[in-house]
Structures are given as C-alpha cells and as structure tokens.
Structure 1
Amino acid sequence: MDTGFEIATEPRGEASASLPQAKDLSHHFNQTTKNREASTLKELYRYAGVPGMITMAGGIPHPEVFPFETLSATILAHDAFPLDPPRVPKKGKSLIEWLFSPTSLPTTSFTIPKWSPKPVDPKTIQLSTSLQYQAATGPPALPLFLREYVSKVYKPAYSDWDVLVNVGNTDGWSKIINLLAEKGDAILVEEWTYPSAVNSFLPYECKTVPIKMDKEGMLPEHLEKVLSEWNEEERGGKKRPHIMYTIPTGQNPTGATMEAERKKQLYKICSKYDVIICEDEPYYCLYTGEWTPKGSKSDKSILAQRRADAEKKEGSEGNQAFIKNLPPSYLHFDVDGRVIRMDTFSKTSAPGSRLGWITANPQFIERLTRISETSTQAPSGFATALTTVMLQKWGFEGYIRWLRGVKATYNMRKTWMCDAFEDVFHLEFDQNKSLFPDGSKTITCYSKTPKNKWDEKKGLHGPALVTFTPPTAGMFVFLGVHISEHPDYDKLTRKGEDATHVLVQKLWTELADNLVLFAPGWYFDGGGEHAIGGKGYGYFRLSFSIATYEETYKAIRTFSQVLEKFFKTK
C-alpha cells in the first residue's frame, strides 16, 4: 500500500550513518491500527507543494480572507533567567519582584507576516500557510528544529528515527494507546503513576501491572519476575504485557529519577520480552540534582561539583555541560526502535500552546501520522507559528540556554519548599524503607515544639509526623504522613474501618479548610504495595512550581500547625 508518507532525510548527527536501522516491530500494532488507511484528502498535500502545481482539489479557504494580517509577540530573551539565582529574597525586595521587574528581564519581538518573501523555504513561517489546513506532520520548520534537538540531546542509537508533532504528551500517549493497545491488555506501569495516563487506556478495559520502585524508579528484578512468571490462566486470560509506560525523570508523583545503568538494565529486559517502552518525559529538562540543607556543605564528589560549576557558565561550554549532566534518554540505548519518547513544550514554554512531539521508529511514526490525520490533524497554527519562530530566534544554543534558566528557576523553588520544611519542622535524615521505596533518601519531620519540659530537656520531639523525599527533578515533593501515630488509628482499625483512608481524608479536608490544597496520594495509585495505602501511611503530592516564596512558607507552616492539631501533639 502506498501511504504517501515519506521519512525526512535531514541529517541526524555525524554518527547516524554507522547506526543500525530500527527493527520491524509492526506486530505490536493493534487491529485498528492495521486497518488504517492514509487519509484520502491528506494524500493531496504531497502533490499540492509541487512547484507550478495549480491546486483545485482541496476545499480550502483562500488566505486573503484570513482576518489575521500579522501575528506579533514579545518574548523573553533566551538568557532572561539567571543560572544561579539567590536562595532567599533580597532584603526589602521579594525575589519575585527581583526576578520579574521590567528592568531585569530582557525581551525581543517579532512579527509573522501573512505572506513571506521566501515562501518555498522550508524554514519559512507565514500565516497564509500556518493558519491553513496542514498535514498532520505540521509545518516543515518545526520538525527540522526538533530533529536537530533530538539528535544533539538524546543521541538515538539507531539511524532512521523520526519525530511527529502532537497536541502535548497527553495527546501523544492517547495516540500511542490507539496504536498499540488491544481491548483488555495488561500495561506495565510504576507502582505510583500519573493518573491521566491510566485514564487514557481504561476505556480499552486495560489493566495496570504495577512494577515496584526504588529511588531510581522501576526495579529491573521485579520487572523480570513479572514478565518471566506471567501465566495467562492465572491472569484471567490476559496476554503478557507488551507496553510499558514510564516517567523516568522527576517521576510523577515520587520525583524519582532514573540514571543510565538502570535504563540499560530495563531496556535489556524489555528487548528480551519484546516490550515497547513508552517514555513520558515532561520534566526531563528540570533535572535539578540533590537538595542541600542550609548551612551544610554539598556532599557531591569533586567531579560532580566540577560538572555543576561548569553548567553555571554562560555560552557553549555551559550548554554542553547541561546536556551532559542530563540523564540519558532510553533512546540513547535503543538499537531496536522499541522506544516511543514523548516530549512537550508545556513545562518549558507554555501549557496552553498544547504542543509536543513524539520520537519513534519510522513504522510507528507513519501509523501515528495516520491516527493524527483523522483526529487532531495538525496542532494549532497559532501555537506552531509562534513557537517555531521563537525557537528560530533563539536557535539551538539559545534554546538550551533558555532550558538552563528554566531549570535554575525550578531548582530555586524546590529549595524554597525544602528549606521551609527545615525551618518549620525538626528534621532527621534517614532511609525509611517501609514508607518509601528502598534506597530513597528520606527526611522525617517532627514537631519543633516539645510536649513538655521533660521532652524539652531530653531533646524529644514527639512522634514522627511526615517523611518526604527531596526530589532531584520535576515540580513535586512527595511525602507520607505517619497516620498510624494518630490516637484514633487503632480504634478505627478495630472497628473494621480503613483507618488510613478515613484519617487521610480528614487531614486533607482540614488542610483545604485552612486554604492549603495538596494532591492526595490515592490519585496516583498504580496498584503497588506502597500505593494502596497500607502500613498506616497517607501520601500527598506538593507542587512547588507556582507558589511565591511567601506562599510556600505560609503553606508549610500551616501544614505543621494542622498536623500538630490533627495528631493532638499540642
């Protein structure tokens, strides 16, 4: 069948010629995907661009009647955000005011015309085409930039990969499910996972198969055990999973980040059992490293400290240090073409742009294109035009510098929240294996107010209240409340009630009544032994991405006050 789909031939790096091509993995397609034909009308697009072609085939509006003659925007400069912002606000001026005062943030402006003087240049963005019906692959200029980015940052291990724009990672994941999942499939996920990802495949009557986690995410030994011991009869007739959904960097909700060696181990297992790895990476560039408590020296090695210092430098050297310090993508180890990577501009540009992309092997990209043609078609012309020109203005090096500034900003916000816990609670550093996955670096919080003079003399702080894991990436702090320390816990349990759920719901409500809103842990339940709420712990996810410095401290202080009242420690 002639699909009319052509894989782009732009260079993908110097080593691409020596790399293998992707394997034929079309046996993973579901029946619906196999039945798809190229959109009949979309077939016209490959002919419409032929020089000299008089196009009378499509029912497309003439650009003259588009009401938009120009589209203008003022954007921040690529180096608008500092690489090493101060830890606390300057005296007499809030950090937000310091960061966002008109004099501190340089800008640049551009205008996109309806008609460009170079309309045939593939890098040209003009409203006459951007606001017109487009192929599902989007305007040529955006994939051109994305291929350069993927080649230089992710360095895929096979040669014929390609990219496909979409309407953000949720849309991308929905299309991947549409591509691969059959009704009733079992899908591998982390024991804590992103709820919207699960909601995407529930209509297919698919079930999650939770894989245990540690501080780096999925445990290879548990994945091997699940796949090697899979018994269809014991699993209700379900076939062994062939789809794995994972968030390797700044895992949502736990904040776990997977490094190179773990990815190699998991990739080897997935290759052995022919599993497609769906790598969801919205927080990839927000890899911020460990939190260092105030007044303490960093425990980084000399080499790690040198890398961190190099990343704070302006220019190409700092950009390369940033790229080198990122955890390698699964794509970097993918010699089969079994990785489908999802990226988005939501966390690094604007969520409302609804713009992202998928990197995958050519067979998968071709079928995903067919899915897009009869669903979302191309992303919004406004979003792609503005984003593409922004990227062209900055260039590759400028975009990397922008990402470094965004990372530094979120690292600052993470520090605010962790510092607030340090100031509001008495902290003890430990490894709470029963509360969080094995190997996690955890901090347990106690009341700073002794219950009586005897406790004050002995340095006692009452029962453990909260344990949390300082994240190394992403936007969240994930914590567990020691619900079993509540005076009503045993009484409720003896009555046969789910004491953990009852008390967590009560605590969450009391926090909301005091104008502090956390995300309950049960939203992220992937079905693992930690996630199901046993062992007397209740979980919450706290986002540090949007609150001001003052609001962050106020929220954590209110949290401590509500906890002390909740546990009746006052």
Structure 2
Amino acid sequence: MDGAHALSPAHEAPVGSLPKAKDLTHHLNAITKRRVANKLKEMYKYSGVPGMVSLAGGIPSPAYFPFETLSATILPFDHLPLDNPRVPVKEKKSLLGWLFGSGSSSATPSITVPKYAKNPTDPYAVQLATSLQYQMATGPPAFPKFLREYVATVYKPGYADWDVLLDDGATDGFNKVCDMLLDVGDTILVEEWTYPGAANAYLPYDTTVVGVKMDGEGIIPEDLESLLADWDESQGRFPRLLYTVPTGQNPTGATMLGERKQAVYNIASKYDLIIVEDEPYFTLYSGAYTPRDSKLSPLAQYQRDLEKKEGKEGNEAFINALPPTYLRFDTEGRVIRLDTFSKTSCPGSRLGWITSSPLFIERLTRIAESSTQAPSGFATSLTITLLNTWGLDGYIRWLRGLKGAYTVRRDWLVDSLADVFHLEFEEDGVHNPNVLTVAGIGRGATAYARQLPGSSEAQWDEKRGVASPHGKPLVSFVPPTAGMFVWLAVHFDQHPEFHSLGSDATNELTRRLWLKLADHLVLFAPGFVFAPDTAKGADTGVGYFRLSYSIITYEESRSAIKTFEEVLVQFLHGK
C-alpha cells in the first residue's frame, strides 16, 4: 500500500485492546432521547426459545402465507471477470456479453428460501415463516451476523463495541440519522458539491447548510479547521454534523485516502462533530486512470497481478487496496457509516445497513420500530440466502468483479475524451485551480479542441490572445479513481456573452449548454443542482457537469463525447 493508505499501529491493534465508544448522548435531539422500545416487539425475542408456546402476539399464522418457497436463479460469485479488455471484443454477439458472462468457472446456481427451515430452532436459519412475519426492527438474525463479519474483515473499526443495523438503503439510513440528531435550526456541514438527494433529509429541519472546500481528494482539512476555528455564530449555530461521501464522491468522483481521513477525524474529535460517512461506491475503488499508451507503475502492476489471481490471496489484495474507512480511525464512536446493496446487488432490494456505536444503533433501532420497522422480508431472505450461498470470500470475489466492470467503463469514457479532445495531463506540482486535483490521486487533465496551427479554429483563439497552438482550454477534469462519475469543468469565460450576462453568467451558460446537448440527445447532469447552498461568490467562469459512465456502452460513450465536443465548440463560439 502507498503512504496515503498506511495506518498507524494503534489502528491495527487486536480487538481486545480497542477502546469502547465514548458517551455522545449530548448529540441526541430531545425527541430521540424520549423514544422507548416497542413493548410488543420486545416480546419477539422470546418467540424463538425452544418449546415456547406463544399466545402473546396478534400475528397471522405462517400456515396461511401464500408463499411456500421463494426461489431465484443467481449468478456465480466469480461470474464477472477480473481482467477486462480495454475495448470490447467485436466478435461477441453483444457488446456486454464479454463483460457479464466470461469470468465464471462454475455453473449457474439457484437458491430457495423454504417456508420452514430444516432446523427452525437455529437462530440464524432463514425461512419465510419468520422472514415474512412481523419481526424485530433489526431484521433476521442471520443478516447482522453476516454483516458483522464483513465489517470486521473489511472495515476494521477502531473501537470494540460497534454494531450494525439493517435499513431500507442509505437514503433511509441518513433520514433516520437526521431524525436522531438534528434540531430545527441546526447547522450541517457538507462537501462544497454534494449529493442533492441527501438534502431531502436535513432541509425540513430548516438547517443552515455550509459547504466545505474540496480538491481531488475530497474535503480539505485545513479549510475545515479554519471554518470551525473562526466560526461566526451570526451565520448559524455551531455545526455538530458533517455529511460526506468519501469514495467516488457524488458528484465529483473525488476519493479521500487514509492520511486525510485521519486529519479530518482529528478535527471532528477536536470540535465534537459527528461524521456521517455515506459510502455507496466504496468497493468500486479502482485506483488511478492509466492512459492507453502509458505503462502501469510498479505498484499498480503488482496490484493488477494480484487481482488476476483467484481465491483468498486476491481477496486480501483487494481489501488492502481499498481506502481505509473513517471507522478505521474512529476510537470514540463518532462515525456513522452508511452502506447500501444498491451498487453491489440491486437498488430495488431497498437494503442497506448502518455501522456505528451502541448508543446510536440502539436509538436508530427505536426510530425504525416506529417507522419502517424491519426491511422487506422478501428482500432480506433472498439477499442473505444469496450471501450465505456465496460465503464471505465469494461475496468479496463478486465485489472484485464489479470493481473491474466499472473500472473499464470509466476507461471507456475517459479514453473517449482523450480521443475526441487533445488532453494535457498536469505534471506533479503544477495545479490548475479549476480542476479538483491532488498529487498522488491522479493528474488533472485539460482538454483542448483537436486543431492544427493556422486553422480557422486556431486563428479564432489567436484573436483572443491565446498563445497555445491548441487554443484555449475547453474542459478540465480529474479521471476518477472510484465510483461512477466524471466531473467536467467547462471554461465558459471564453463565451462571447460571458461578460454581458451579469453575476449569474456561468449558471446561465451551463443551463443553455445542458439544454443544447439534450436537444442533440446527450444528457448530462448540470453542476448547479449539486451546489449545497445558494451563496454567491465571484463568478470564475467555470461551470460543471456530472457525467455518469455506469450504464452506457462502449459505443455510446464514444458517440456521446463526440457530440459533446462538436456542440461545445460551436456553443463557445456563440453559435
């Protein structure tokens, strides 16, 4: 691992020597403090006692459930290949055939969940009689059992008494966290570009939302420290909550590594912040983009060789290459981590989980008892049966295949940008302030129109005082190291109307270009929808678009970027 991933010895200590979480009860809002356990649900824990004859619950008889079994044909855990071709093999019948069917070495299995398990007294048995019944808000015991093993193996929390709680996906999890912690009028810290879906959870509390400056590795610790140290109460209450997407950040694609996470955690501890770590893209971390004509670094080649190996050694290499989670540095229980199966299984399962301190997990359980209760029994029974069929090692092998699949899709999109534009990558120590970049994460790229010196395009740029034979920069970006997004910075300051449109010129030009691209059947997400607040600063002339590469084909990526280049060049000419 590189230095950014390295951990201090304190975070590699055996579990027996780890501290317990601090008492952070003062962070709970008044409503959460008053919540009590569901008295009827408390009785459910006795229903599984062998020989117990229960007349206590007003529940329907499983004998009358119309589902005798629940079955599914599943993919083998090694179905997705680990080493994908940069360009799809043309002789395949489908562009995606090579991607979703060439890696498996085993037959396609099926799973069945019976109404009654062979050993119904086994507390970890999965059966429809209990999965489709009223149950504890914590869900079927087999699921948290698997998740605890996964968290301990992959995340390695820095304190001893953490626990997990199932939820209906990360959106539901974050909504419950806000219900637990926020009071009306509170201040919440988010990244300066943030996932707008999360705002639906905290805006109803009439929150003051403050964005923290970012670069290509996410939140900048020095800016966070300065913001808190110089906090002016006139701008709102002192914040208690920091919401962040550290890996493959939505929308910027930025990924925070270990050294910076430790710095941010130290600041959070100093100023008593709770960190909500929302990580839907965590296992899609793939490392730096390598141009097609470049050789891999020795470290990258070593990791690539390990990834080609099947079995546990490859799984361990995969885990070790992941950025350490905030949980790894958490010795006080102030991190609330949100995970989801949306990106690793399917969004429609509406399944995820929260990892945090016993205080927060217990209070979140009380919230679940009065709202969502346990997630759907259909989703939980099928998903845990799938996971138990694969086993922990099989699930991690599945995640490695997903990582490879999304890595090659990223390469398709960035390769298309390199083919359509003239790209110049930043050298170490050279920083373009319009690009989210940082040394060691991946060099920022600046895109110019492909043109010859002396052409009409070059002459147009020369009249505007541009000395480069490639003209004025059109687009800047950092190839992402994880996730599903490329964050494009478009240089609108060269548009002929930029100086006449007033203080909102960049947003207006972003909106116009977005609509023009849609008219040409290319849909980007305009950057202004990811701005966390309406505060206006100086208009730099740089607007943003989020490009998702998660579902487009190789041919679609090339076609879309070619259309984008043609429309953009004409647009910046005022046409």
- Please give the range of the TM-score, normalised by the shorter of the 2 chains: over 0.9
TM-superposed CA distance for 1:452, in Å, is 4.9
Which stretch shows the higher mean deviation, 452-461 or 87-96? 452-461
TM-score (norm 2): 0.91
5 Å matches for 1:448-467? 448-450=450-452, 452-453=454-455, 460-467=469-476
TM-superposed CA distance for 1:284, in Å, is 0.3
- Counterpart AA for 2:187: A
Q: Any stretches of 5+ residues in structure 2 without a counterpart?
A: 1-11, 460-466
Which stretch shows the higher mean deviation, 428-437 or 223-232? 428-437
- Counterpart AA for 1:509: L
What is the alpha-carbon distance in structure 2 between the residues aligned to residue 271 and residue 499 of structure 1? 40
Q: Is 1:98–1:104's contact at 8 Å kept on the other side of the alignment? A: no
The alignment status of 1:345 with 2:344, answered yes or no, reads: no
The alignment status of 1:556 with 2:561, answered yes or no, reads: yes
5 Å matches for 1:160-179? 160-179=161-180
What is the alpha-carbon distance in structure 1 between the residues aligned to residue 349 and residue 457 of structure 2? 55
Q: Is 1:192–1:527's contact at 8 Å kept on the other side of the alignment? A: no
| Residue of structure 1 in register with 2:141 after alignment | 140
The alignment status of 1:318 with 2:320, answered yes or no, reads: no
TM-superposed CA distance for 1:453, in Å, is 3.6
What is the alpha-carbon distance in structure 1 between the residues aligned to residue 158 and residue 100 of structure 2? 41
CA RMSD of aligned residues (A): 2.2
TM-superposed CA distance for 1:214, in Å, is 1.7
TM-superposed CA distance for 1:532, in Å, is 6.4
Distance 1:336 1:459, change over 3 A: closer
| Residue of structure 1 in register with 2:28 after alignment | 29
Q: Deviations over 1:8-62 (max 9, x none)?
A: xxxxx99222211111111110001011111122122122222222222222111
Q: Is 1:500–1:533's contact at 8 Å kept on the other side of the alignment? A: no
TM-superposed CA distance for 1:445, in Å, is 1.3
| Residue of structure 2 in register with 1:51 after alignment | 50
The alignment status of 1:474 with 2:470, answered yes or no, reads: no
Distance 1:565 1:203, change over 3 A: same
TM-superposed CA distance for 1:303, in Å, is 3.5
- Counterpart AA for 1:186: T
Q: Deviations over 1:499-535 (max 9, x none)?
A: 2122111100011111111111011112498x96820
Which stretch shows the higher mean deviation, 273-282 or 559-568? 559-568
TM-superposed CA distance for 1:366, in Å, is 0.5
Which stretch shows the higher mean deviation, 106-115 or 173-182? 106-115
| Residue of structure 1 in register with 2:252 after alignment | 254
| Residue of structure 1 in register with 2:513 after alignment | 507
- Counterpart AA for 2:527: G
Q: Deviations over 1:458-489 (max 9, x none)?
A: 98233221111100000000011111111121
SS of aligned partner of 1:546: coil
TM-score (norm 1): 0.92
| Residue of structure 2 in register with 1:220 after alignment | 221
5 Å matches for 1:1-80? 15-80=14-79
| Residue of structure 1 in register with 2:289 after alignment | 291
SS of aligned partner of 2:178: helix
Q: Is 2:217–2:437's contact at 8 Å kept on the other side of the alignment? A: no
TM-superposed CA distance for 1:240, in Å, is 1.4
SS of aligned partner of 1:99: coil
Percent identical among aligned pairs is 57
Structure 1 ranges of 4+ moved more than 6 A: 102-105, 454-459
What is the alpha-carbon distance in structure 2 between the residues aligned to residue 48 and residue 348 of structure 1? 33
Q: Is 1:433–1:439's contact at 8 Å kept on the other side of the alignment? A: no
| Residue of structure 2 in register with 1:185 after alignment | 186
Q: Deviations over 1:539-563 (max 9, x none)?
A: 0000000011111111111111111
Distance 1:334 1:228, change over 3 A: same
Q: Is 2:436–2:478's contact at 8 Å kept on the other side of the alignment? A: no
5 Å matches for 1:78-477? 78-93=77-92, 94-100=94-100, 106-232=107-233, 234-235=234-235, 238-298=236-296, 300=297, 302-430=298-426, 433-437=432-436, 439=438, 441-450=443-452, 452-453=454-455, 460-477=469-486
| Residue of structure 1 in register with 2:524 after alignment | 518
- Counterpart AA for 2:140: P
Q: Is 2:79–2:100's contact at 8 Å kept on the other side of the alignment? A: no
- Counterpart AA for 1:63: P
| Residue of structure 2 in register with 1:4 after alignment | none
| Residue of structure 1 in register with 2:4 after alignment | none
**Count of aligned positions:** 549
Q: Is 1:115–1:126's contact at 8 Å kept on the other side of the alignment? A: yes
Distance 1:231 1:269, change over 3 A: same
